[in-house]
Amino acid sequence: MTIITDAAPVIAATDPRDPNRERAQAFFASSRESLVIPAPVTAEIDYLIGERSGTRAQTAFLQDIAAGRFRVECLTVEEYRLVMALSERYAALNPGLADLSIVVLAHRFQTDRILTFDYRHFRAMEPLHGGSFELLPG
């Protein structure tokens, strides 16, 4: 099954000061599922890993992408239109492109499973087919 991956767990796994580091590392060590990262989220990850953990950690992240550990997906023009509609729908949350791209790719991959520590946004937003997201790690 596919899991759409947010920035915070990837960043936490590399940052020894992050309180979620052990949870993130344990998840990545045990997960055998396909981990998809929206392209807008990869830029956020790269920047914040560099700021918090340095260039070695940035390089390790890029190596993980190149090795297929993470699958990076771009949005289509139609999906960007959907992002715009979701931005209006969730304007009070101010979720931004990264979070909205996660919602859109969850729809594309027909999954409700999101790897995130952003409970505020993803508990308030819904999958496009209804219901609620399963937020990982549990």
pLDDT value, residue 36: 98
Overall size of the chain counted in residues: 138
Q: Which CATH number is 32's domain given?
A: 3.40.50.1010
pLDDT at 70 over 90: yes
The total domain count for the chain is 1
Range of the domain at 94: 2-136
Query: Which pLDDT does position 124 carry in this prediction?
Result: 97
Has residue 86 got a pLDDT over 90? yes
Mean pLDDT of 70-79: 98
Q: What is the pLDDT of residue 55?
A: 96
Please give the average per-residue pLDDT across 61-74, as a whole number: 97
Find out whether 30 and 132 touch, Cβ atoms under 8 Å.
Answer: no
Position 138 pLDDT exceeds 90: no
Q: CB–CB of 116/135 below 8 Å?
A: yes
In this prediction, residues 5-20 reach a mean pLDDT of 97
Asked if pLDDT for residue 23 goes beyond 90, the answer is: yes
Q: What is the mean pLDDT of residues 83-108?
A: 98
Q: Per-residue confidence at 71, pLDDT binned at 50, 70, 90?
A: very high
